[in-house]
């Protein structure tokens, strides 16, 4: 079964509130996004992409807070459709991408804020992780922010039947390298709908000026 088939099966067989990563509101993500928007003096004009957003309510909350330039990417077309149906006419104001993050075609230097909660830790192949970092380097503006949440050192070793990679802040930052300046890291205990505690690690980074040289090698 391909990755796409796997996630279509997961999302089509469970309600949005039944998947293990579900939370009514992603408070930590929202707080970091608002901090990033303030740091860049972008306010509600900040261009934000939620990678692996799927059925998450993050986009709902960002719309409610007044953010106007929003994009959501997910591998599952079913998950994207659920989010669109939930948002109603507001979905027309969001850019939707149904794609594999490692090979998606995204606009260059487009985003002020890149958010990913629980995609990167599924990339168990180093080549997949390198492709992901390349996407970030190409798509995020210099001075932009990257908010990445993975399972922490005490998190589960599998999720939805798939193996994951667990990280501490040093290991996660090392995957991205020198162009990404680590500004903060946070561990969070997430309670799943089944009542299980999962440790998440958030890394909050800024894309520094050295990213220009990295981009030149990608051109």
3-state DSSP assignment of residue 12: helix
Distance in angstroms (rounded) separating the CA atoms of residues 193 and 19:
7
Tell me, what DSSP letter sits at residue 192?
Answer: P
Mean of pLDDT values over 111-121: 97
Give CATH for domain 3-218. Answer: 3.40.50.150
- Tens of pLDDT along 54-100? 899 999 999 999 999 999 999 999 999 999 999 999 999 999 999 99
- Tens of pLDDT along 170-215? 999 999 998 999 999 999 999 998 888 999 999 999 998 776 656 6
Question: What pTM was estimated for this model as a whole?
Answer: 0.94
Q: How far apart are the first and last CA of the chain?
A: 34
Question: In this structure, what are the phi and psi dihedrals at residue 188, rounded to the nearest 5 degrees?
Answer: -140, 135
Query: What are the structural domain ranges in the chain?
Result: 3-218
Distances (CA, A) of 147 to 150, 173, 181, 206: 10, 11, 12, 9
């Amino acid at each position: 079964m391909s990755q796409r088939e796997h996630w279509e099966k997961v999302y089509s067989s469970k309600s949005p509130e039944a998947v293990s990563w579900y939370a009514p509101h992603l408070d930590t993500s929202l707080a970091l996004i608002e901090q990033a928007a303030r740091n860049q003096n972008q306010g509600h004009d900040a261009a934000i992409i939620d990678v692996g957003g799927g059925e998450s309510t993050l986009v709902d909350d960002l719309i409610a807070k007044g953010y106007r330039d929003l994009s959501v990417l997910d591998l599952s077309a079913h998950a994207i459709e659920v989010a669109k149906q939930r948002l109603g006419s507001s979905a027309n104001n969001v850019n939707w991408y149904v794609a594999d993050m490692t090979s998606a075609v995204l606009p260059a230097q487009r985003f002020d804020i890149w958010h990913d909660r629980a995609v990167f830790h599924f990339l168990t192949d180093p080549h997949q992780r390198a492709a992901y970092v390349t996407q970030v380097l190409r798509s995020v503006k210099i001075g932009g922010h990257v908010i990445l949440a993975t399972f922490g050192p005490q998190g589960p070793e599998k999720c939805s039947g798939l193996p994951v990679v667990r990280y501490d802040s040093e290991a996660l930052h090392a995957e991205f390298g020198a162009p990404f300046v680590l500004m903060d890291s946070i561990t969070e205990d997430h309670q799943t709908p089944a009542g299980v505690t999962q440790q998440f690690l958030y890394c909050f980074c800024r894309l520094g000026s050295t990213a220009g040289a990295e981009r030149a090698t990608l051109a």
